[in-house]
Structure 1
Amino acid sequence: MQVHWIKPNPHGTSVGLAEVSGENDKDLDYLRPDLAHLNPKKRMEFLASRLLTQRLCEAQQIPYHGIEKDEYGKPHLIQSNYQLSISHSYPMVACAIHPTAPCGIDIESVRPQLTNIKHKFLNPIELRRCDTNLHQLCIHWSAKEVLYKIHGRKRLTFAKQLVIDEIRGDQIHARILLDDAEKKHLLKYEKVSEYYLVYNV
């Protein structure tokens, strides 16, 4: 596994980005031989996300005792109040931690399939903004994935309850619309080769 960078932030979201070197990455395979039955790509993604999270915790001087998932599938650091989010799009893996607030991170490749499903995750204003621009579609999709992870629960409608209000520079102004509340969030995106990485700041 190649760690591209780790950006520790003691007061906000700390982010790490890594790349699996192959389906038989020797740096990773020794960690969990019990996962040998899994699809090779899925196994490498799983192992890389754990190792990258550990490296990010070390950079923040946070004890790392592993990761567990809650009833909604959201990952949590064991024996820690730090919030955690993980994303992978083979061979890229990303993770984010925040000392107090829920965090979200997503990495996506720019792919034509997004044009076929854009009506499912964009509202009319967002559809006009993106049109057929694959890069804009990827940023919007990834930003909504981040919002979904921040919320940490199921049953959110991407097109109606996750709103991208504005993209200004590398910042994304967004909202989560719930039955009884509206929550604003500031996200940031970065272009990494043919991928877009989005996370809350």
Structure 2
Amino acid sequence: MPLHSLSPVSQTCVLGLWLLTETAEELWPLLPAQAHYLAHYPDGRDELRARQWLGGRTLAHQLLRELSDAPATLHNDANGRPYFAELPGFGVSLSHSGEWVAGLLSTQAAVGIDIELIRTKAQQLARRFLSETEQTDAGNETAKYCLYWSAKETLYKLHSRRGLVFKEQLLLSPFELREAGVLTGHLLLENFRSQHQIHYLRPSPDYVLTYAVGD
């Protein structure tokens, strides 16, 4: 079973990575409450997306076993945010890209996580989601553009608000790119502002991962 890692972030939060090599048929037996997930299984997805969907839910249950013995089933709210219906106080976030699936689970706080394959697409679309200051800071570093995108996705998931403008309301302070580190993110709303630590790392040379835990 290619569970890559389960890493404690704190006593109440754990980060998981899954290297997705199984077929859909091999993933199904790893899931509890199969009738529930079969009823919510998305029709019409290609093979990779079907495996990612199943891998995400399998990983979510692996994370849950690290923090609780309670039986629970994963659902999605109106914004697409995953949650365990039987454990409303828990925060759950999932992400996938290529063969990687990432998950973050907290017993006490909202969470956000995102994983991205490093590619030129983020740089090509930078004007849509980066402020001028962020574009200048990213320069010509493809990995940095992807990290900016991933960090903003994580911040978006953490707050689960529809309609946020990434280049105006989700901003990041300039940073020096390393193999791992912490970014400072800012949520700017009309009557509310908040600052967040967004952790990042590279699970493999071609990917970046970011995550954040709410207050």
* Structure 2 residues without counterparts, runs of 5 or longer: none
Q: Does 1:7 align with 2:1?
A: no
Residues 62, 138 of structure 1: CA spacing in aligned structure 2 closer, same or farther, 3 A cutoff? farther
Q: CA deviation at 1:82?
A: 0.7
Residues 58, 12 of structure 1: CA spacing in aligned structure 2 closer, same or farther, 3 A cutoff? closer
Per-residue displacement from partner, 1:119-147 (whole Å, max 9, x unpaired)?
11110110100022101101110000000
Residues 175, 152 of structure 1: CA spacing in aligned structure 2 closer, same or farther, 3 A cutoff? same
Per-residue displacement from partner, 1:47-88 (whole Å, max 9, x unpaired)?
111111111111123524111111111111121111111100
Check whether the contact 1:14–1:98 (CA below 8 A) recurs between aligned residues. Answer: yes
Per-residue displacement from partner, 1:1-56 (whole Å, max 9, x unpaired)?
5111001345454210001105x254304455944753211111111111111111
Aligned counterpart for 1:74 among listed residues 81, 84, 101? 81
Residues 166, 63 of structure 1: CA spacing in aligned structure 2 closer, same or farther, 3 A cutoff? farther
Equivalent residue number for residue 144 of structure 1: 152
Q: Does 1:41 align with 2:48?
A: yes
Q: Does 1:55 align with 2:62?
A: yes
Corresponding residue SS for 2:86 = coil
Equivalent residue number for residue 122 of structure 1: 130
- TM-score, length basis structure 1: 0.91
| Amino-acid identity (%) | 27
Residues 76, 94 of structure 1: CA spacing in aligned structure 2 closer, same or farther, 3 A cutoff? same
Residues 128, 16 of structure 1: CA spacing in aligned structure 2 closer, same or farther, 3 A cutoff? same
Q: Greater shift after overlay, 37-46 or 74-83? A: 37-46
Corresponding residue SS for 1:105 = strand
Whole-angstrom distance in 2 between the partners of 1:17 and 1:64: 22
Whole-angstrom distance in 1 between the partners of 2:57 and 2:185: 29
Number of residue equivalences: 200
Aligned counterpart for 2:139 among listed residues 131, 141, 145? 131
* Structure 1 residues without counterparts, runs of 5 or longer: none
- TM-score, length basis structure 2: 0.86
Q: CA deviation at 1:101?
A: 1.9
Q: CA deviation at 1:183?
A: 0.9
Check whether the contact 1:8–1:60 (CA below 8 A) recurs between aligned residues. Answer: no
Corresponding residue SS for 1:171 = strand
Question: 2:62 is matched by which residue type in structure 1?
Answer: R
Instruction: Give the superposed CA RMSD.
Output: 2.0
Whole-angstrom distance in 2 between the partners of 1:91 and 1:148: 23
